Structure 1
Amino acid sequence: MKKGLVILLLFFSTFSFSQIYIKGKVTSSANEPLEGASVYFNNTTIGSITNSKGEFELKISKGNYTLVVSFLGFKTKQFPINVEETPLNLTIKLQEENDILNEVVIHKTVYDEDWKYNLKRFKQAFLGRTKLASTCKILNEKDLHFNFNRKTNTLTAIAKKTLIIKHNGLGYLITYDLIDFSIQKNRLFFSGYAQYKNLRKKIKSKWKKNRLEAFNGSRMHFLRSLINKNIDKEGFLVNQFKRVPNPDRPSEQKIEISRQLIQLHKGKINFNKQIIEPKTTIDSAIIVLRKASLPKYQDYLYKRNVIYSDMISFEKNKPFLNFQDYLSIIYKNESEENNYLLGLFGKRKKASGVQTSNIILLEGKSQIDNTGILINPNAIFNEGYWAFEAFANMLPLDYQPPKD
């Protein structure tokens, strides 16, 4: 029988109001203590290594987190924890890797030109193209394995080992367990578990400056401001819009049929000729293909200055990000970086002087805790500036900007 994770919760009667202590023990399935296991809260700087008895102790503020436990030769485990003002004692059993079935088989990686090209795409998508992204270095790039599916135009990535990322711009050494990564038609999805550590005990002034700049206008900044009902004070403006199919763009079916007609045509085709009224099927196909580059959808703004009650709902006193259609989040206190204006294909956008991002709910609504942390970050999709910033501009969840 396959052995899994066992968690025993024991409650204590004394606690600190500002910080909660979480203690525990990590063992094998045979109840042997695992010394040197890594225990950390995902996307934070809070972590520990187990002692000779397999024991650990963590201190954290209340909120919702994912606890990650890993040890060489064992399968990494993770589980959500709602840290209220009650300390916890955990007993965690890890499953040996030789008991794990149906693991992904990674064939020998060939470090050829295709691999180098895919690595470049991976870094642009995962780390981003910001100024801070240029200060990030993946120290073990060759542990990345790529697969490109030509039929679906999808690039996927698998990491053979935990990625080690040195972030000289923010002053962090980050370990990242890549769970999923895919790009399909420039739509990016990735997920994983990250632990942040300061590169030095003493934080350099440039790191403090860069961290604050990364925080300002970020999704973290917005969600904290939203929960605290001070988005206006923090420099945010929220608008609401609908997204509808572009009536001027032909359907995908018409575009595909037109492409096939062009491919099957044996004669010479003048694609530059002026066509007012199509006289042949080829003329019609040319007109359709000329319109294929039009955007699939059009956005229609219908509400400005969206208020708190139109974005947040409550169930059993728990807040949820919940709204109709789409939200446009404008951060007024910073302008766009030059690389954002250039775009991926060198088509320069017009500078607006603000940073604009869109939020799309993928599951109807998304729970958010009282500290501004999304319970399920994958329940929303970002477009615009937040998508451009990517991983290199992300801060640990326990980051706090300096008080004025």
Structure 2
Amino acid sequence: MKKGLYIVCILFTIQTFSQQLIKGKVSSKTNIPLEGASVFFNNTTIGALTNDKGEFELPVRNNNTYTLVVSYLGYKTYQKQINTLNTEYLTIQLDEDNELLDEVEIPKTKYDDEWKYNLARFKKVFLGRTKLAEECIIQNEKDLHFDYDAKTNTLTAIARKPLQIKHKGLGYLITYDLVDFSLDHQKVFFSGFAQYKNLRKSIRKKWKENRLKAYNGSQMHYLRSLMDKSLEEDGFVVNQFRRVRNEARPTEKEIQFAREYIKLQGGVVRFSNRNATPKTKLDSAYITLRKARELPKFRDYLYKSNIPYEEMISYEKDIPYLDFKDYLMIVYTKEPEEENFVKGMFGKNKRKAQNVQTSNLVLLKGKAQIDPSGILLDPNAAFQEEYWGFEAFANMLPLDYQPIKE
């Protein structure tokens, strides 16, 4: 999923940062200045509106790589990676948008029970199920339109306007321009542009505490600690495991055959049928589907504990890459699991909460480039499971967040 989090070196006292201004001008292709255009660094609290001359200034406190986003009604959204070391004046010309969302053929939304059900599913996977998610309010829910494809069991969402999310737990008002959202079975993907603003000039103690708690053990925290070579000190234990197909579970071909055979026989799948020894082909088909339901597709085999820094990262021309074999099991030892994670998606799990948080990480494209700040440049290059998968948008922090180390 696109959750880009860009931040520079680990400096824990704000006073040590030197502030600089990124300046520029926004106009149309015909050089007409655009007043009131929104200019911000994606997923940060750094943003401004252009003045009557189309000019803007963005104050930054560090040298970093951010994605600059410029949006203006009637024009296509502009985005470009900017290194704040480059302080040259930015001249940005926007293209007119001849295919505005309102002109795209989107069926009229019916705010019926089906829409309410899809909204609940959307919020559960987009905002997440954490305690912080309970303090997130989407203020313009009715700008969301949902489509469900029963054949592929996929839910997609479109937002006619940027979502306005009031996060009372972290103290932010977040404007989120949703670009893509899809939920396929239990796999979720979403991407967009986020602009964070503090709800108040003075940050409440509760917000400071919640922000630090959201940061601790997060993927952002892990990657910064990895780059800083401080994993053990910061509470991370990283193990390595291999994932193989569970030979005790029927193959997809066998499962499909069983379904078709039961259908041809006019039967209905009843998982209450616990026959262990099949007497007929129909019994065998029932047992196949029961095994498919009860047995995991894969088995994980841990084969290395406390893997060293060198086996998680590689360099090409001084450019760092997250680079490892198989899967990483990343254990954060300084915080326990939340009860909502233990209960599971449907609230049926009954095990006790562990005193550590365990997440799995797999690379999807061989390796993933890490920004000098310690953030993956391509968020889609890796897939996360378990606790990081549980912590969704509501637990994400702006890229310019820095914890204060006591």
Shared fold by TM > 0.5?
Answer: yes
Q: How has the CA–CA distance of structure 1 residues 221 and 270 changed in structure 2, closer, same or farther, with 3 Å as cutoff?
A: closer
* Distance across 2 between alignment mates of 1:270 and 1:32: 68
Q: Secondary structure at the match of 2:234?
A: coil
Q: Which residue of 1 aligns with 2:82?
A: 81
TM superposition shift of 1:402: 1.6
Which residue does the alignment assign to 1:307?
308
Shift of 1:269: 8.8
Distance 1:205 1:268 in 2: 57
Counterpart position of 2:53: 53
Could you tell me how far 1:286 is from its partner in structure 2?
A: 1.6
C-alpha spacing 1:89/1:99, structure 2 compared with 1 (3 Å): farther
Residue 318 to residue 388, structure 1, CA distance change in 2 (3 Å): same
Distance in 2 (CA, whole Å) between partners of 1:67 and 1:135 is 28
What is aligned with 1:320? 321
- The 5-angstrom pairing of residues 214-253 of structure 1 reads 214-253=214-253
Pick closer, same or farther for the CA change 1:315–1:109 going to 2, 3 Å: same
Q: Which residue pairs with 1:9 in the alignment?
A: none
- CA distance 1:102–1:161, change in 2 (3 Å): closer
Equivalent in the alignment of 2:345: 344
Provide the C-alpha distance between the structure 1 equivalents of 2:127 and 2:275, rounded to a whole number of angstroms.
Answer: 45
How far is the alpha carbon of 1:99 from its aligned partner?
6.4
- 1:260 match: secondary structure: helix
**2:69 is matched with which residue?**
68
Matches within 5 A, 1:35-46: 35-46=35-46
Q: CA deviation at 1:102?
A: 12
Distance 1:268-1:316 versus aligned 2 partners, 3 A rule? closer
Is structure 2 residue 335 aligned with structure 1 residue 334?
yes
Provide the residue aligned with 1:369 in structure 2.
371
- Residue 73 of structure 1 deviates from its aligned partner by 1.5
Deviation, 1:279, is 2.9
CA distance 1:223–1:349, shift in 2 (3 Å): farther
Would the aligned equivalents of 1:42 and 1:194 in 2 still touch at CA under 8 Å?
yes
Separation in 1, partners of 2:268, 2:121: 37
What letter matches 1:196 in structure 2? Y
Give 1:334 deviation, angstroms: 0.5
Counterpart of 2:177? 177
Q: 2:357 aligns with which of 344, 355, 358?
A: 355
* Correspondence for 1:385: 387
Unaligned runs of 5+ in 2: 1-15
State the distance in 1 between where 2:215 and 2:271 align: 49
Which SS does the other structure have where 1:74 is aligned? coil
Q: Which range is displaced more, 18-27 or 118-127?
A: 18-27
Instruction: Give the direction of change, closer, same or farther, for the CA distance of 1:100–1:171 in structure 2 (3 Å limit).
Output: closer
Q: Does 1:397 align with 2:405?
A: no
Report percent identity of matched pairs: 62
- Please tell me whether residue 280 in structure 1 is matched to residue 287 in structure 2: no
Q: What does 1:70-109 correspond to in 2, within 5 Å?
A: 70-83=71-84, 85-98=85-98, 104-109=104-109
8 A Cα contact 1:64 1:373, kept in partner: no
Return the alpha-carbon distance in structure 2 between the equivalents of residues 270 and 228 of structure 1.
54
Amino acid paired to 1:312: I
Verify the 8 A CA contact 2:163 2:175 in the aligned structure 1. yes
TM-score by structure 2 length?
A: 0.91
52-61 vs 16-25, which moves further:
16-25
CA distance in 2, matches of 1:122, 1:101: 20
Deviations 1:208-238 (A, max 9, x none): 1111111111111111111000010000000
Of residues 98-107 and 44-53 in structure 1, the stretch that sits farther from structure 2 once superposed is 98-107
- Structure 1 position 26, deviation (Å): 0.4
SS in 2 for 1:200: coil
Name the counterpart of 1:29.
Answer: 29
In structure 1, list runs of 5 or more residues that go unmatched.
Answer: 1-15
Q: 2:159 and 2:271 mapped to 1: Cα distance?
A: 45
Deviation of 1:20 (Å): 4.1
CA distance in 1: counterparts of 2:298 and 2:255, whole angstroms: 16
Pair 24,271 (structure 1): closer, same or farther in 2 beyond 3 Å: closer
Cα separation, 2, equivalents of 1:102 and 1:137:
25
Kindly indicate whether the alpha-carbon contact (under 8 Å) linking 1:64 and 1:375 is maintained by their aligned counterparts in 2: no
Answer whether contact 2:269 2:286 (CA < 8 A) is retained: no
2:10 — aligned with what?
none
State the SS of the aligned residue for 1:309: helix
Indicate the RMSD between aligned Cα atoms, in angstroms: 2.0
Call closer, same or farther: CA 1:104–1:230 in 2, change over 3 Å: farther
Whichever residue aligns with residue 71 of structure 1, its letter is Y
How far apart are the structure 1 equivalents of 2:268 and 2:106? 47
Distance in 1 (CA, whole Å) between partners of 2:119 and 2:102 is 26
Q: 1:269 to 1:117 in 2, by over 3 A?
A: closer
Q: Hey, what does 2:4 align to over in structure 1?
A: none
Tell which deviates more after alignment, 364-373 or 211-220: 364-373
Q: CA separation in 2, counterparts of 1:103 and 1:237? A: 51
Query: Deviations along 1:34-57, whole A, 9 cap, x unmatched?
Result: 011000000000011111110111
Q: Following the alignment from structure 2 to structure 1, what is the Cα–Cα distance between the partners of residues 76 and 364?
A: 29
In structure 1, distance between residues paired with 2:270 and 2:206: 58
Task: Provide, for residues 294-351 of structure 1, a one-character-per-residue CA deviation record: whole Å limited to 9, x for no partner.
Answer: 1111111111001111111111111111111111110000111111000012231533
TM alignment of 1:148-167, pairs within 5 A: 148-167=148-167
Change (3 A) 1:67 1:260: same
**SS at 1:353 equivalent:** coil
